[in-house]
Amino acid sequence: MTDRRSSPGTAEILEGYRQYVVPSYARFPVAFVRGKGSYVWDAEDRRYLDFCCGIAVNVLGHASPVIAQALEEAAGRLIHCSNLYYHPMGAELAETLVRWIGAGKVFFSNSGAEANECLFKLARRFGEPRGAFEILTAQGSFHGRTLAAMAATGQDKVRRGFGPPIPGFRHVPFLDLAEMERAIGPATAAILVEPIQGEGGVRAATRPYLQGLREICDRHGLLLFFDEVQTGVFRSGRFLAFQRLMEGCEEEVGFLPDGIAMAKGLAGGFPIGATWIRDPYADLLGPGSHASTFGGSPLACTVACAVLHHLEKEELGRQIREKGERLSLELQAAASPDRGWIESISGVGGLLGVHVRRDARSLAHELLAQGLLVAPAGERVVRLLPPLNVASEEISEAIAILRAANEREATP
């Protein structure tokens, strides 16, 4: 282990960022140097319970032996080969995703924005014969930071200062089927939504809404896309959030969108994105139509296969569903219309939104000082995103920190 006496402290690390790193992030003033399980330690060796989880990335927590072993094995065997060739781990990972979703094929990339970009190009290729190229998305949505992904995002603040926006995207109120259908025009090729809006405040779609979108797309000859970048990989308790939201209704069996973007937790922290495309559209992007130099590398696919196998074997989807329900119920019990800062709780499984009466970022800063990491989601919501293998006692610790902070504010 590195000797902390010779390691840089927080002030030195922050100064290095100030001098040499582009200031495009509003970072909290803490520098982390190591992690284990659900905890991270800063440069002064203070410990924090991590319920930010890399913003839904670290599904197995920090320093997972599952990931470490997969990285070591892949690095010693084959790290990268061009997509001019084949390798077995790409086929294995794609087969796993198809088995868990439905008949189709997978394109591999490196991030959620890239996974969405594949959907954008698929919509344009699909609509090209009739001159259609437009994608309808939801107000409050978030789809990434590339120029096209920003144009798709239904939040003005994300696009501010980068105009004019890429044409081909229009934003419709979330959960409003009538407005979505009215927005369809001759140029419309697809509809893209998040089953649960993460950055938009942890707002979940309803079963009738998802089914209605499928019916609208079928009626008008459009493609239906789901952005599951943040909500996928068992974050909701099922592999994909739309599967969780469709539970218990007749339409669940056989219900599928036409394309799904995934990333974040897919390899537990190693960068990989994946776009699943349903048959019969899976061959629309033929040779030369789309590419990614690093997408689907042997290393990335090996780690993702190891992570997904472990999640399935240990039934971590079921576990996070149960622990998330407990976390939600106990925090909802602390909510009050006129006391403290907890107003209400939204979300499912390991993606919960705590709706608050004050600025979410300042609250996240105060919770950081109490040893708990959370992720702001807009001005009045903080997200709780624990590792999927979080322990019951760690759930208890988070509840105690949150309730104590809430009570302090409620006390005159």
Is the CB of residue 299 less than 8 Å from the CB of residue 71? yes
Beta bridge partners of 348: 351
For 277-299, the three-class secondary structure string (H helix, E strand, C coil) is EECCCCCCCCCCCCCCCCCCCHH
Is the CB of residue 74 less than 8 Å from the CB of residue 303? yes
Q: How far apart, in whole angstroms, are the C-alpha atoms of residue 276 and residue 225? A: 10
For 333-398, the three-class secondary structure string (H helix, E strand, C coil) is HHCCCCCCCEEEEEEECCEEEEEECCCHHHHHHHHHHCCEECEECCCCEEEECCCCCCCHHHHHHH
Q: In Å, how far are 12, 28, 30, 88, 279 from 379, measured between CA atoms?
A: 30, 16, 21, 45, 40
Catalytic residues: 142, 227, 264
**Omega into 376 within 30° of 0, i.e. cis?**
no
Q: How many CB atoms lie within 10 A of CB 269?
A: 23
Q: What are phi and psi of 384, to 5 degrees?
A: -110, 120
